[in-house]
Structure 1
């Protein structure tokens, strides 16, 4: 004999919240999928029918139902992932910021070399770029610009020289 069917009781208020999650544009696709599963389960769909419709295993459908039964709406979202630990600590971050604030242009490769020389920490230029991006820095192509304003007397002399050259009366000194 097969497994007895189970039916979760989902009230109208929670059903409206599930529908909002299902139709929400900024909602993670997994959460929308689980909301759809729960909404259809409320309408009487069995676990095998849901599994076939969503191309998932019956066990995964039961897992979703169990999570909802135990945790409510919070159960259909995934827990935040920790991921790989950050390689750069506060002291390395402070060095990066100090180097960037210097009056020169730094590349990500050069900053990675500085981190290796100062701390013995091997990071790729891509890691440096990602970390700087997370700190709010943006890459911008270096531009040539005058370092300071020209002295008006010197500028006048050069303009006079250019005018003479344009007229074709120049002499080699």
Structure 2
């Protein structure tokens, strides 16, 4: 005895939304394919007919129908892949915040070395700078600035030599 045909009820309002998604040029092609499968299923097409028409196997068509049943129209879009787990923990983020509050010049390479010393975490400077950007930090080019005030006598000596250079009278024996 054959298995009974699977039928999903789609309301006219949902069908109107599906129709808009199907003709929209901004809809992802995979979503548009799933929408077409649902709309034709609503018109009475069987799963074998749908799989032959779209060149997909029966299980893929069943999966599309199941996704719609479980989550509705939002379920037609693919979810973001999970990716790799986060390597920088909240404890490490706190450590980074503390380091960046110090009156010390930090760049991504130095922060990577500090993380490796304290947490034995191998992370590249590019990955760390991306993570710092997500935390709200921005990078700016470092500027040279004097660490302390110059001694007035030394500044005067250099000023005299600069004046000599400006006049063009420099010699190896000049002061």
TM-score, scaled relative to structure 2: 0.68
Tell me the equivalent position of 2:128. Answer: 128
**Which runs of no fewer than 5 residues in structure 2 stay unpaired?**
none
Q: Which residue in the other structure is 1:144 paired with?
A: 143
Listed one character per residue, the Cα deviations across residues 10-65 of structure 1 (whole Å, up to 9, x for unaligned) are: 2221012223444273x665444322321232344443343344432121101211
For 1:116-141, what per-residue CA distance to the aligned partner results, in whole angstroms no more than 9, with x for missing partners?
2123x32311442332232133444x
Q: 1:60 to 1:95 in 2, by over 3 A?
A: same
Question: Aligned equivalents of 2:18 and 2:7: distance in 1?
Answer: 16
Q: Which runs of 5+ in 1 are unaligned?
A: none
Greater alpha carbon shift after TM alignment, 39-48 vs 110-119: 39-48
Work out the number of aligned pairs and report it: 169
Find the counterpart in structure 2 of residue 114 from structure 1.
114
The alpha-carbon deviation at position 91 of structure 1 amounts to 1.9
Alpha-carbon spacing, 1:30–1:156, altered in 2? closer, same or farther (3 Å)? farther
Q: Per-residue deviation at 1:162?
A: 3.7
The corresponding residue for 1:101 is 101
Q: Distance in 1 between matches of 2:80 and 2:13?
A: 26
CA contact (8 A) 1:108 1:129 kept: yes
Give me the whole-angstrom Cα distance separating, in 2, the residues matched to 1:41 and 1:80. 27
